[in-house]
Chains A and B, each alone.
Chain A
Amino acid sequence: MKSELELRGVQQRFHARGVADGYVTAVDDVSFKLLASPPQIVSLVGQSGSGKSTIARNVLGLQKPTAGSVLYGGKDIFKLSRSEYDAYRRDVQPVFQDPYAIFNPFYRVDRVLWKAVKKFKLASTREAGLKLIEESLQAVRLEPENVLGRYPHQLSGGQRQRIMLARVHMLRPSFIIADEPVSMLDAQVRKHFLDILLDFQREHGMTTLFITHDLSTVYYLGGEVMVITKGQIVERGPVATVMHEPTHPYTKLLLDSIPSPDPDQRWTTRIQVDELERLDDNTPADTTKPEAPVL
């Protein structure tokens, strides 16, 4: 029963100025279930402003939903006992978008890994701890001698993001909540990162909730996909089904908007600006997402 993470009727509203009733609804009655076994990869795809990152914050317990509940092992995560909460925090691990922001620039990157060893008592001796760290770095295809002892600014974005994956690898959580983890990485590094997530699923039985705005990444990962727009999940199913036989108009619009690399198949219709403007209105501050994928 522990191995289940469920959102039940989650709603998240935020105060906002200049809106009719003084609120925007970022997440609107969202329900879904993630199972640890069998391990799965579930992608949540949507535009910026669709509410997907808010869902990540809800699942991680960083934001208490205004209505509905997030259940871990059948219990509301905001009502767990101290020890249950610790178990949940260990079992559900985040990977965030910005590989630059998660590190304290004054500390060597080792600290992130040692903190995990100590906090979760993964090893009793320094040697055992170091061995664990080295193993995990190798699991994410990093050479320990190339990254240990370095400061965050001495590593590339891809290396930093993989260090966070090494940390996840050490903890062996049942669930990884990955919020746009590859949007700041370029194509080659991106593929690397996704392959590691797939490894984690196959070899270590981890279930990932993969949040992205990018359809080709979803396609690469496979598994299940949920399409979210304006805070509501409008379509869900196996990736191949949703991409080849989309049923919701929004999913169709998304798929149709991928520029086809064929000059004989140019768009013949125009897309309405105002239907997007409504999407835009939800996103006053846009997060920077460089590098569209070329997987």
Chain B
Amino acid sequence: MNNVLEVKGLEVVYSTNRGDVQAVRGIDLDVHRGEILGIAGESGSGKSTLAVALLRLLKAPGKVTGGSVMFHPAGRSPVDLLKVHGEELRVLRWSALSYLPQGSMSSLNPVMRVEEQFKDVILEHAPARRDSLGELIPRLLGQVGLEPRVGRMYPHELSGGMKQRVLMAIAVALEPDLVIADEPTTALDVTIQRVILQSLADLRTDFGVTLMVISHDMGVHAQLADRVAVMYEGRLVEVGDVRQVFKDPQDPYTRQLIESIPRLGRKAS
């Protein structure tokens, strides 16, 4: 099996003055190359902690207390993401591993034009592409359904959905092996959500990126994911093909989660 990421026995705790809180409890998870893997679970289940730990963006009082995360970028030697530091980690970021954060509202620099923010990332991580920037930026924007003129705009001139799409375009600018998207549709209106999901699926089709999509919305997973991993209280309770997870959930918690999905036409209780 061709894996992009192999997580083994990952443990994360948050230290508090009332002792440690274990947020991720011994997770084993493989991410296959080219797939869209959904991470499901309720608030507080450890989904976002898992994401930031993999990205090495975990901040104190959070700390990784165990496990390994083998990352296999194409054309490079495999590395344990938990052991790389400094320059080695910086080189991997964006070009091999990128992040689409939750709350796109605050992730763009308010005083820089969109195209400058693209340049920032691209020149920092792939200076050789300087000459092709003029062609690259409009192409990336087009990829997520935005017109080239968006490049000249400032973030405050964009709606929430447009900002989210700008971030998506930046995330794939350097054709990374793996993009981790944390609640990419959460703050958006339904129709914009749908456009974002469409664009995420396109990214995989057109760029072949592997996507890890974290969402509490089971509808998002049903529409987008190939496989779904369900988290509960820091543990992975079930991982499987999307159809199996929805149609024939093996774990009682997953079953509960599927049953509690609100559907229009049936009053939620």
Q: Which residue of B lies closest to A273 (CB)?
A: B145
Residues of A within 8 A of B263 (CB): 261
B18 to chain A, nearest CB (A): 18
A-facing mask of B187-223, CB < 8 A → 1, else 0?
Answer: 1111111110110000000000000000011111111
The 5 nearest A-B residue pairs measured at CB? A259-B219, A286-B160, A273-B145, A280-B159, A257-B190
What are 16 contact pairs spanning A and B, CB under 8 A? A186-B43, A191-B268, A213-B189, A215-B190, A219-B268, A259-B217, A260-B223, A262-B246, A263-B243, A271-B198, A276-B191, A280-B192, A283-B159, A292-B185, A294-B261, A295-B262
Residues of B within 8 A of A (CB): 43, 103, 105, 145, 156-163, 185-195, 197-198, 216-223, 242-243, 246-247, 258, 260-265, 267-268
Residues of B within 8 A of A216 (CB): 262, 264, 268
Across the interface, do A263 and B222 meet the contact criterion of CB distance under 8 Å?
Answer: yes
Among candidates B156, B191, B222, residue contacting A262 with C-beta atoms closer than 8 Å: B222
A244 at the interface (CB under 8 A from B): yes
Residues of A within 8 A of B242 (CB): 263
Q: In the docked arrangement, what's the CA distance between A270 and B199, Å?
A: 10
Among candidates A253, A255, A257, A295, residue contacting B268 with C-beta atoms closer than 8 Å: A295
Q: In the docked arrangement, what's the CA distance between A245 and B45, Å?
A: 37
How many pairs, one residue from A and one from B, have CB atoms within 8 Å of each other in the complex? 131
Q: In the docked arrangement, what's the CA distance between A220 and B220, Å?
A: 20
Q: In the docked arrangement, what's the CA distance between A258 and B195, Å?
A: 11
A254 at the interface (CB under 8 A from B): yes
Q: Which residue of B lies closest to A49 (CB)?
A: B159
B-facing mask of A265-280, CB < 8 A → 1, else 0?
Answer: 1110011010010011
Residues of B within 8 A of A284 (CB): 156-159
Residues of B within 8 A of A255 (CB): 264
Q: Which residue of A lies closest to B163 (CB)?
A: A286
